[in-house]
A and B are shown apart, each in its own frame.
Chain A
Amino acid sequence: MTRVLPAFVLIPLVMAFVLPLFGKKGKNAATVLANLATITLLVLAIACVGKKGVYQVGNWSISVGIILVLDGLSSLMLLAIGVVSAAAMLFSAKYMEQYTAKSKYLSLFMLMVAGMNGLVLSGDLFNLFVFLEIASLASYALVGFGCEHEELEASFKYMVLGSVASSFILFALALVYGNTAYLNMACVAKAIQTSGLNAGLMFALALFIVGFGLKSALVPFHAWLPDAHPSAPAPISAMLSGIIIKTLGVYSLARVVFNIFGVSVQISWLLIALGVLSMVVGVFLAVGQWDLKRLLAYHSISQMGYVVLGIGIGALILAQNGNVAWASLAILGGLFHLVNHAVFKTLLFLTSGSIEMSTGTRQIKALGGLVEKLPFTRAACTIASASIAGVPPFNGFWSKLILVVAAIQAGLFGLAAVTVIVSLVTLISFLKVQRYIFLGELPENLQGIKENRGTMLAAMVFLACLCVLMGLLVIVPSLRESILEPAVKVLTAGPGYWASAGIIKM
């Protein structure tokens, strides 16, 4: 099984350089090829569920060479990347016809997927940085893809903050190397366990938290997200909100905090504070928005808060040597919400793209009565809105329920209340979306609009089905044990994970 691991990086990387060669005439062939690639990656990711393995690139020994590590957490992230990129690519097949230079778009898209797949598989810190930069560079270019005033401005803002974040991460890497003489995650974790944290490593951890916090747009660092995500073309907004901020931000943060440095009470409280701040500030900024995609972008900040809160509560219980079962539950809630958010936020951005393509606007006040004109988009949007607001039986409900239960078990009743209140405000915000866009009077200038069918519809139906069915991931024990629980176990094992998984000898 470990032999297929390089394919996760190689397939999209090779595609990224082959697709621009097709040029204008071969763009249909290029689209088909790109779709085949994303679907192949999804199939490979499904095949990797429950598997473990280490691939040593070029057969160098672990402490000096590059290794790719497949474990529960990486295979969960690979699965999420596979689902989101396959749906977004299917949607782009028709949606991106409005833009020129489609083959360049496909190439950048593939580069982004290659970066993310490499990032989640990477077993050493510097490689993680390189793949993070590949994915970031592709996403900067894609945000500015339309080359209009707003898009360029958003891209510039995103790039400046993203480059600052990358410099922070590289600086932290240098500090880690200087203090432990290793870059391999397993060896660094071992060195830190034997010698303990010194001032340099504490500083490195702080730099990592700021860097990955910027990449995942947690609240004090969120300024770029509400500009960058709405400005991109709809499938790219879906990729950015759906998966980029999770792999580049939260996944890397969790990996570094849990599996390399080990959790402490202060760091857990920092994570909880970041999570709660993101949840509350994000949702209250979202309620007042009248631009559909901007509203969705603010909700991304808020929902990322849930994920970080779940992970933070888990870290707190672990750091206080509490009951591991409850820590696992909190982390399970966080990771499950991460996957759920990937699915429903992708779906929401795709429906916003469908609405924008049919009507030519995304201002909520300029729309209305679209229920008859866009019945399928409406159905998909309603399902996704119910999911994000935590209405049973959709997937968002289950993950929020787990988070609330975990918060109560940890004795943090205030946080449980905040979680529920933020969820209610989210519901209000999405009722507004439903009311103003789909119900009410149809404006005169929108009488002649038509819904876009074909691949765009297929992508939305696929994600809507997932939204309904994903609750099964926690209800059915065999699915939970094969997909979610291995991922949770990686994080709860802490810095000792690498030895217990047999990646290095203690």
Chain B
Amino acid sequence: MPYALCFLLFMIGLYCAVVKKNMVKIVIGLAVMEYAVNLFLIMLGYRTGGAAPIIDKTYLEPGTTQITANFINTSVDPLPQALVLTAIVISLGSLALIISICIRIYERYGTFDITEIRRLRG
């Protein structure tokens, strides 16, 4: 069920990016799509009532470097969190670039409406 809602969020973002005529709304749609994907990644590693994936002494078998089965069964998956951090940084970069291009377009054309920004055809 959460996965379906996440997919719904993704589709809302896609709809917004494809249908809207205002450049800023398109950018918001792209951002919503990226958030939906990030949320999906985080949910893959989520575990209700799970522990943080940090190994300290209580999670090691006494006297060895073996990790206890208890830790493996309760901790959340750390990899999606690392992936999401990277993905957020990338989407920050691309959002900053696209917003700056929007500002430049507004300076040139004086509008955010993409139906009026049509010098290219063919």
Looking at the complex, which one of B41, B87, B104 makes contact with A152 (CB distance below 8 Å)? Answer: B104
A130: chain B residues within 8 A (beta carbon): 86, 90
B69 at the interface (CB under 8 A from A): no
Q: How far is the CA of A289 from the CA of B121 in the complex (A)?
A: 11
Interface string of B54-69 (1 = CB under 8 A from A): 0000000000000000
A147 at the interface (CB under 8 A from B): yes
B74 at the interface (CB under 8 A from A): no
Contact: A164 with B17, CB < 8 Å? yes
Binds B, one of A51-59, A154-162, A434-442, A466-474: A154-162
Q: Return the chain A residue nearest B118 by Cβ.
A: A153
Q: How far is the CA of A157 from the CA of B120 in the complex (A)?
A: 11
A160: chain B residues within 8 A (beta carbon): 17, 26, 30, 98
B108: chain A residues within 8 A (beta carbon): 148-149, 152
Q: How far is the CA of A170 from the CA of B38 in the complex (A)?
A: 9
Contact: A156 with B101, CB < 8 Å? yes
Chain B contact patch, size range: 35 or more
Contact: A174 with B37, CB < 8 Å? yes
Question: In terms of DSSP, what is the predominant structure of the interface of chain A?
Answer: helix
> Considering the complex, which residues of chain B in the window 25-49 have a beta carbon less than 8 Å from any beta carbon of chain A?
26, 30, 33-34, 36-37, 40-41, 44
B33: chain A residues within 8 A (beta carbon): 163-164, 167
- State whether A159 and B23 are in contact (beta carbons under 8 Å apart), knowing that A152-B108, A167-B33, A178-B44 are contacts in the complex: no
Q: What residues make up the interface of B, taking CB atoms closer than 8 Å to A?
A: 10, 13-14, 17, 23, 26, 30, 33-34, 36-37, 40-41, 44, 79-80, 83, 86-87, 90, 93-94, 97-98, 101-102, 104-105, 108-109, 117-120, 122
> Considering the complex, which residues of chain A in the window 127-179 have a beta carbon less than 8 Å from any beta carbon of chain B?
130, 133, 136-137, 140-141, 144, 147-150, 152-157, 159-160, 163-164, 166-167, 170-171, 174, 177-178
Looking at the complex, which one of A144, A157, A171, A227 makes contact with B37 (CB distance below 8 Å)? Answer: A171
Looking at the assembled complex, report how far the CB atom of A329 sits from the nearest CB atom of chain B, in whole angstroms: 37
Contact: B102 with A156, CB < 8 Å? yes
Q: Which 9 A-B pairs have the closest CB atoms?
A: A167-B33, A178-B44, A227-B120, A174-B41, A163-B30, A133-B90, A170-B37, A152-B105, A171-B37
A174: chain B residues within 8 A (beta carbon): 37, 40-41, 44, 80
- State whether A167 and B37 are in contact (beta carbons under 8 Å apart), knowing that A137-B97, A160-B30, A226-B122 are contacts in the complex: yes
Q: What residues make up the interface of A, taking CB atoms closer than 8 Å to B?
A: 126, 130, 133, 136-137, 140-141, 144, 147-150, 152-157, 159-160, 163-164, 166-167, 170-171, 174, 177-178, 183, 226-227, 231, 285, 289, 291, 294
B122: chain A residues within 8 A (beta carbon): 226, 285, 289, 291, 294
Interface centre among A130, A154, A285 (most CB of B within 10 A): A130
Q: How far is the CA of A331 from the CA of B94 in the complex (A)?
A: 35
Q: How far is the CA of A281 from the CA of B86 in the complex (A)?
A: 38
